Amino acid sequence: MNELDETSESGKTGDALRAAHLYYMQDLTMDAIAHELHTSRSSVSRLLSHARASGLVDIQIRSPRDMPGRIEEAVLERHGVRAHIVPVPENASDVDRLERVALSAARILGQFFDSNMSLGIAWGSTMGALSRHLIPKQTHNSQIVQLNGAGNMRTTGILYASEILRRFGDAYGAHVQQFPVPAFFDDPATKQAMWRERSTERVLQMQENMDVALFGIGSPFAEVPSHVYAGGYLEPEDFQSLSRDGAVGDVATVFYRADGSTDGIALNERGTGPSFDLLRATPRRVCVVAGLSKLPSLRGAIRAELITDLIIDESTARALLE
């Protein structure tokens, strides 16, 4: 960006900030703001849109009397999880449902992450969608850490996972720590040896010190395929093994059963995701879910006590309570 571009961008930000203050803090109409700023009503509308998109304005909705509010209360009472309900039309496709939930989650996340904090992220289809909608929030002395490896037989996975993490790092001005290991080792002994390496131990230590963990839920049932199931990470014999072991889903490529248990699931011996004990020790654990097909996996994750905050579409939240 050259000096002229920087000046232009700075001026736009200043105008957007002024317009936002007049509109949200002083209750002026857009016509009145246009008159005061000597511009058009359409220009004011664009400035307000820029203020929201760039994070100058943070809009929060609190309405305890509406239906989403009652569902949130019921989820908290029944499952001990703080739910954030995203209204989505019943007839929306799972692709559109995911985008709308991801958009809302991107705006909610800024409430959970700030300076001097560490955020762990599990890559996947949901995190990819969320990362495209992040609202910039400048922090300092903060870091983003990758929770599970991304390599497989077809690709290193570095481009896919690093692009997701880069978006988070750019949005929050945070240092990004990648985890350059496969999603699954061929041999459990290789994983054990790798976990003793000092370079790997450093990343594992960062994971242990997370303030916030952010993840979606992998599901073999989802209409929008979870990346671990559709991205070449699992061989036919792996699917057979997961079926024999009764797995219903995964969080950060750690598989679990409907009751939330992980013991005895053979693929976990080769996986690089964090143990559920480590996740449960993280103060805030934010799960983003969209679509009824994720419901069996979501129930298992709740029974595993992995979730403190759940960002979810209204239809799936209702079904969770049935």
pLDDT digits (tens, 9 = 90+) for 98-137: 999 999 999 999 999 999 999 999 998 899 999 999 999 9
Q: What is the mean pLDDT of residues 72-85?
A: 94
Residue 4 has pLDDT above 50, yes or no: no
Q: Kindly state whether residues 38 and 74 are assigned to the same domain.
A: no
Domain hosting residue 28, numbered range: 3-54
Is residue 105 one of the residues assigned to a domain? yes
Q: Kindly state whether residues 105 and 128 are assigned to the same domain.
A: yes
Residue 281 has pLDDT above 80, yes or no: yes
Residue 283 has pLDDT above 90, yes or no: yes
Nearest to 307 by CA among 298, 320, 294: 298
Q: Kindly state whether residues 27 and 81 are assigned to the same domain.
A: no
Is residue 61 one of the residues assigned to a domain? no
Is residue 59 one of the residues assigned to a domain? no
Is residue 41 one of the residues assigned to a domain? yes
CATH of the domain at 123: 3.40.50.1360
Q: Kindly state whether residues 254 and 284 are assigned to the same domain.
A: yes
d(CA 122, CA 60): 26
d(CA 295, CA 169): 30
Angle between helices 30-37 and 41-53 (to 10 degrees): 100
CA atoms within 13 A on the CB side of 66: 8
Q: Kindly state whether residues 207 and 296 are assigned to the same domain.
A: yes
Nearest to 212 by CA among 272, 288, 301, 320: 288
Q: Kindly state whether residues 40 and 73 are assigned to the same domain.
A: no
Q: Kindly state whether residues 38 and 174 are assigned to the same domain.
A: no
Percent of the chain that is helix, strand, coil (3-state, to 5): 50, 15, 40
Nearest to 149 by CA among 95, 185, 189: 185
Work out the pLDDT band at 211, boundaries 50, 70, 90. Answer: very high
Q: One-letter amino acid identity for 75? A: V
Q: Kindly state whether residues 155 and 204 are assigned to the same domain.
A: yes
Q: What is the mean pLDDT of residues 284-308?
A: 96
Residue with tokens 């072991």: 245
pLDDT of residue 8: 62
Is residue 258 one of the residues assigned to a domain? yes
CATH of the domain at 46: 1.10.10
Q: What is the mean pLDDT of residues 141-164?
A: 82
d(CA 142, CA 113): 9
Residue 54 has pLDDT above 70, yes or no: yes
The answer to whether residues 87 and 312 touch, using CB atoms and an 8 Å cutoff, is: no
Is residue 29 one of the residues assigned to a domain? yes
Q: Kindly state whether residues 238 and 298 are assigned to the same domain.
A: yes
Overall number of domains in the chain:
2
Provide the pairing of β-strand 247-251 with 254-257.
Answer: antiparallel
Work out the pLDDT band at 304, boundaries 50, 70, 90. Answer: very high
Q: Kindly state whether residues 129 and 26 are assigned to the same domain.
A: no
Lowest mean pLDDT across 76-80, 122-126, 154-158: 154-158
pLDDT of residue 5: 46
Q: What is the mean pLDDT of residues 159-175?
A: 93
Is residue 298 one of the residues assigned to a domain? yes
